[in-house]
A = this chain, B = another copy of it.
Amino acid sequence: MNSTIQKQLSHRSIRAFKDTPISQEIIDTLVEVARHTATSSFSQSATLISVTDAKLKDDIARVCKQPYVAQASHLFIVVLDMYRNHAIATEANTDTEVLGSTDRFLGAAMDCGLMAQNIVTAAESLGLGTVYLGSIQNDAQTMIDLLKLPEYTFPLLGIAIGEPDQEPQLKPKLPEAFMHFENSYTTFENYHEALKDYDAIVTTYYDLRDSNTRVDSFTNQMTARMNVKGPNRMKNLEVLNRQKLLKY
């Protein structure tokens, strides 16, 4: 096993960072890695915004409802970006209606996911800690306003990076039998029964987010989450449509 894979297998989210700044050289390297990420049909539909303004960082931490966001040494926002290609085609008098399709949205969203993981892998290879911030979606419209995002763009994911100031346990993930199949999808007759051992493992795991207390079983967590419906989050499609995305 090489060092790349070793790091990938020991990934954990870091939510407490030391005060140490990250050098500009390292930021440049992370952006270079991002820039070299694969992209759907060459469309290059992912854009990064580095949040360096302290007030803006605080505002974003408030959207995330996570104070550690403001404490990270570096904060990237990964933006799904079809504005650039919209502008290019419009300058060439070409209709860009297709950018509102689900097809193009999926390609652009994948660009963002691939780029995000590439950044995290590079940062971790340098000994830094990272955490993904899906929580920027608690209020996507506010994120759009804060970052002055034009139409055909949408803030998908934040990445907070810094020197780790905690050593969380490895979070136990689903056994392979539940997430890797051969040739066709495999369903289970009774998931609670099939996941009994995994549920037991999860309940013995301590999540540092929740003040060092044990967490609930996986099946209980997934069931409880069905009733978690952030009011802004439930309006994400409206926000996307206003951005002229995901219209059909």
Contacts and interface: CB of A to CB of B under 8 A. Distances in A.
Interface string A27-39: 0010111111111
Contacts of A89: 222-223, 226
Given A9-B36, A47-B185, A49-B184, A92 B192 contact: yes
Nearest to A240: B102
Interface stretch (A65-73, A150-158, A161-169): A150-158
A7 B174 CA distance: 29
Contact of A43 (B96, B110, B225): B225
Interface string A179-201: 11111110110111001000000
Given A147-B183, A223-B89, A35 B174 contact: yes
A112 to B, nearest CB: 7
A228 to B, nearest CB: 8
Nearest to A38: B132
A204 interface: no
A242 interface: no
The oligomer's copy count stands at 2
Given A50-B181, A102-B240, A176 B31 contact: yes
Contacts of A190: 91
Nearest to A44: B174
A38 B170 CA distance: 11
A97 B234 CA distance: 12
A213 interface: no
Contacts of A225: 41, 43, 85, 98
- Size range of the interface on A? 35 or more
A22 interface: no
Interface in A100-141: 101-103, 106-107, 109-110, 112-118, 120-122, 125-126, 132, 134, 137
List of 8 A-B pairs having minimum Cβ-Cβ separation, nearest first: A113-B113, A117-B117, A4-B125, A148-B184, A103-B233, A102-B237, A114-B117, A102-B236
27 contacts: A1-B29, A4-B122, A5-B33, A8-B118, A10-B36, A32-B176, A35-B179, A38-B120, A39-B173, A42-B218, A43-B225, A47-B180, A50-B181, A51-B183, A87-B188, A88-B219, A88-B223, A91-B190, A94-B227, A98-B227, A101-B229, A101-B233, A102-B236, A103-B233, A103-B236, A109-B110, A110-B156
